A and B are shown apart, each in its own frame.
Chain A
Amino acid sequence: TQLLEQSPQFLSIQEGENLTVYCNSSSVFSSLQWYRQEPGEGPVLLVTVVTGGEVKKLKRLTFQFGDARKDSSLHITAAQPGDTGLYLCAGVGDTGANSKLTFGKGITLSVRP
């Protein structure tokens, strides 16, 4: 079983602050996805990273895949109340037997106006 540990578990910040959250594993992933989930809804894909060291930007969100493809970070600049939600990372295993999408438990972010 490939485990993805996300940290911190909960984060409450003021509007305008910057933050970084993490997704870590001891396993190598062929790709890693980040989703955002709002209350009462299903997760929505934000980005997929594939190459070690890859950086992708989505407006104020910056995603990075670790060089060894075992971890990832999400940085949000000038957070807004609309960024509130559950952020999930999900990795696809690097070997045939482990080629399934495994989700972390998520990071609950609350941005106060």
Chain B
Amino acid sequence: DTGVSQDPRHKITKRGQNVTFRCDPISEHNRLYWYRQTLGQGPEFLTYFQNEAQLEKSRLLSDRFSAERPKGSFSTLEIQRTEQGDSAMYLCASSLVGNSYEQYFGPGTRLTVT
């Protein structure tokens, strides 16, 4: 399967701990997105990479959040000093510039902060 993969699928952590999620996009896709989805809501944009450059960050992305995409391949999203309000599904998507704007989503990482 050559779709978008995310790891881990589930993460339970205690408040104040740091967590890191990984996303592996479809191999030829040069754009990568992170979204956050809370219960009863649609996904909300967090940040976006074109190749290795992080080109936009949402105001939702506080200073405790950082994302990287070294070498323009996989991406990591780190949350420092987690809070209960960070509990959500974190979705990664990728797309290919000029390919009709379709984004392909991974299965998500569900974070629970206790």
Are A and B a genuine interacting pair, yes or no? no
- Chain B interfacial positions (CB closer than 8 Å to A): none
- Chain A interfacial positions (CB closer than 8 Å to B): none
